[in-house]
Structure 1
């Protein structure tokens, strides 16, 4: 790889160090990351290239941009894989960093991108994407019902799917009702978001914004996925940290009632369940035990997730001065559930 980078970019790499799941190296002027991009189409990469250049020019101190090859291309080949070399400023260790307000500011900058986005656009597409995903999993569930004998994971999938089907249908209906009953405001326009924003997306020691993580979507995508990941991975922090995250975000950009309802519809959609089931059937034998463990964890937490949804809905009523987002009738009041 060092030789490939030298011949492709004219950069002499002395030493690689890990950055998350990527390899990185530093020069006197910059930090570089080597990122696989074989899963992205050329048109998507072109769009992400222009968005990253825009954010850099807009003054974002953490954005990474594509380093072009000697032939002015945004990607290079090593072995059988395509990679991008992403370039960022050296870490700013002295700068204070508060994730929620940084995310809100990032969304403000991203909202100003002046060109039409098509390849990475997800704004307004949630309903179709969720319905398609649900149809695919439901078809697979019906096939599995007729398979004998069943593995332990498959048995749990067959038993649990009707509940998550109902939750998904609620999420889709909630989204449809939001679009019919409420009006988007200026802050509801599309912006640069992440595939899955979490507390680990921007590590405090080196909080880089990596364009390969981005999609163009409604800002509540990132807020919802941060709250979901906090519940799934760090539930002991959820009530205090999750809701303080929301409060800090709103100190920069208050959420409209449309945004709050959109955020709630995304939390209703059980993305964490879908990703576990899909991951299990796409994984190799050596990874299946991991997905079995994750499914047990999520199923055991189903009641607590309902509690989280109800708390969110009730807290939104208190925070908005008595104009709550609509409740889901079958989810019990928070006082009737216990969060552990």
Structure 2
């Protein structure tokens, strides 16, 4: 079978999935500890990494590295999506340890600064490439725009970190690297776990809606967040760093990072061009975001964009 791009096998009531990995063993160990905790607390659909016959977590074949994840069963919660994610964060916040390698809690500013510096260095190297493809020319022409957005996001999260209106749900919890509705799928793959502020998952779920031109996207976003807040109300601090994360063009950086490892083609050019054109929708959504979710930024003394 194939589930969420993971190649898998079912043997009796056991499921096994093979996935490539670029992570070291200690990271998979931390993923596993999180997985064990979640499984013990009712998330039976979590797939955790198992050792091979040589008692190693990573298997190397033809100079490529792989892991195997095992799950005992698949299941889904009978709740709205927002409530599902809130309960997952509620459980993940009870995890009794602070991971050393998969935790990004409180580090967004420094991580974004590092990300921007790395991409600026890559940009400089691409200026010398000849001949330049259409994708490369488009990347070079639009990269200053990414720099501006990222610098805005860094400044916004820096100021948000001074916010003192926070609450207990602002503590770190088990999250995903990029939340893409994983809780609505039959399996949750532990190699996607991070340990961070819950707003990370909220922002990554909302991000594709902001890119979309669907007339009902505001309704979907508002409904999702309302359902989430039935279980875990968001503080002013949560709202501010949620907005900061949306302001950072992570989706554009993810595309460029992936394109670096692929053959440059016309398809890459058209996909990137389409993503950039959707930024019009995205910026419009950012500008009205607080109004969309029913928050008065003036009354709550929250900075908002005026561009």
* TM-score of the two chains, using structure 1 as the length reference: 0.81
Q: 1:296 to 1:48 in 2, by over 3 A?
A: same
Instruction: Determine whether 1:131 maps to 2:113.
Output: yes
Runs of at least 5 residues in structure 1 that lack an aligned partner in the other structure: 1-16, 332-340
Equivalent-residue separation in structure 1 for 2:254 and 2:262 (angstroms): 12
Partner of 1:33: 17
For 2:67, what is the secondary structure of its paired residue? strand
Change (3 A) 1:82 1:149: closer
Report matched runs for 1:137-286 at 5 Å: 137-145=119-127, 150-199=132-181, 201-204=182-185, 206=186, 208-232=187-211, 235=214, 237-285=216-264
2:80 is matched with which residue? Answer: 98
1:234 Cα deviation after fit: 7.5
CA shift digits 1:39-98 (9 cap, x unpaired): 1111101111111111111222322233444565444455544433322233337x5253
Q: 2-side partners of 1:241 and 1:100: how far apart?
A: 10
Compare CA radii of gyration and give the structure with the larger one.
1
Distance 1:73 1:138, change over 3 A: closer
Which of 80, 83, 101 is matched with 2:66 structurally? 83
**Unaligned residue ranges in structure 2 (runs of 5+):** none
User: 1:164–1:321: structure 2 CA closer, same or farther, 3 Å change rule?
Assistant: closer
Task: Provide Cα deviations, 1:10-45, integer angstroms capped at 9, x if missing partner.
Answer: xxxxxxx221211222233333322333x1111101
Once the two structures are superposed, what CA deviation does each residue of 1:272-315 show, in whole Å capped at 9, x if it has no partner? 11122233233124xx3332122211221222111110221223
TM-score (norm 2): 0.89
Say if 2:134 and 2:266, in contact at 8 Å, map to a contact too.
no
State whether residues 313 and 325 of structure 1, in contact with CA within 8 Å, keep that contact through their aligned partners in structure 2: no
SS of the equivalent of 1:64 reads strand
Number of aligned residue pairs: give it.
307
Over the residues paired in the alignment, what is the CA RMSD in angstroms? 2.5
Equivalence for 1:55: 38
Aligned counterpart, 1:9: none
